[in-house]
Amino acid sequence: MLDLEPTAAESISYFVMKRAFDLLFSILVLAFGFPLMFAIALTIKLTSKGPIFFSQERVGSKGRVFRMYKFRTMRVAREEESSTRWTVRDDPRCTRIGAFLRRTSLDELPQFINVLKGDMSVVGPRPERPFFVRKFASELEKYNTRHYVKAGITGWAQVNGFRGDTSIRERIQYDLYYLKNWSIGFDIQIILLTVFRGIVNRNAY
C-alpha cells in the first residue's frame, strides 16, 4: 500500500523557500561561527591523534546516501565499528574535548557545510546510518516516510527530547508530524527551541 496523503513538505514552497532559507542561514552561521570553529579544530588537533573532522555515511532524501561531516569526538576506529554501534553515556571511545562537544552539540557545526552542498537542511528528520535504516525500516511501519524530505541538523523530534538512545518509534511520530505540518514559521520555531533547550541535552552523548 502507498501513502498518498499529500503533505506540506511536498509543496513547491517547500523546495524553493526552504532551500533559500537553508542557504542564507548556513552562510551566516559559518561566517559568524568561523572563529569558534577554528578554536575547536585547533583544540582537537592539539589534544588527540587523528583528523579534525569525522565523516560518515548517512541516508538522506529519497534514500540517497551521503557523507555527513562532524568534528571528530572519538578516538580513531574502524569505520565498520562506528557505522554499526550506538554511542552510549560515558562512552570510553570519546576524547575529553569530544565529550564536551557532543554534550553541547558543537560537534555538529560542520554539518552546515552539508546544508550548503544540498545534502541536508537546517531542520528536518535526523539522518541515520544505512545499517540502522535497514534495521528500522524492517521493524517499523512508515519509517522510510521520513526520507521524503532532506535530513536536518535539528528537528521536531530532537527539540522534544528524542535524540540519542531514545524510542525510535516515538521519534518517527514527531518526524511524521513535521512532514505534515511544515512551514518556514515551524522551522524557525524549531531553530529557536534548539537554541534555548536543545543544544545542551541530557540525551546528547
Which pLDDT tens digit goes with each residue over 51-64?
999 999 999 998 99
For residue 66, the surrounding DSSP H or E stretch is strand 65-71
C-alpha to C-alpha distance for 177 and 84, rounded to whole angstroms = 28
67 forms beta bridges with 57
Q: What values do phi and psi take at 171, rounded to 5?
A: -60, -40
Give the model's pLDDT for residue 14.
80
Q: Is 10 helix (H, G, I), strand (E, B) or coil?
A: helix
pLDDT digits (tens, 9 = 90+) for 18-54: 999 999 999 999 999 999 999 999 999 999 888 999 9
C-alpha to C-alpha distance for 129 and 114, rounded to whole angstroms = 15
User: What does the mean pLDDT of the chain come to?
Assistant: 86
Q: Please, how many CA atoms are within 13 Å of residue 25, restricted to the half-sphere of its CB?
A: 21
Give the model's pLDDT for residue 1.
40
Give the model's pLDDT for residue 200.
59
| Cell numbers 518509534: residue | 169
The model's pTM is 0.84
Q: Mean pLDDT by 10-residue block, N- to C-terminus, for the chain (205 residues)?
A: 57 85 96 96 92 94 94 76 56 82 92 96 94 91 88 94 83 92 93 80 54
Q: Is 73 helix (H, G, I), strand (E, B) or coil?
A: coil
Nearest Cα to Cα of residue 121 among 89, 140, 148, 84: 148
Residues 68, 120: contact at Cβ < 8 Å? yes
* Single-letter code of the amino acid located at 204: A
* Single-letter code of the amino acid located at 174: Y
| Cell numbers 513538505: residue | 9
Q: Is 190 helix (H, G, I), strand (E, B) or coil?
A: helix
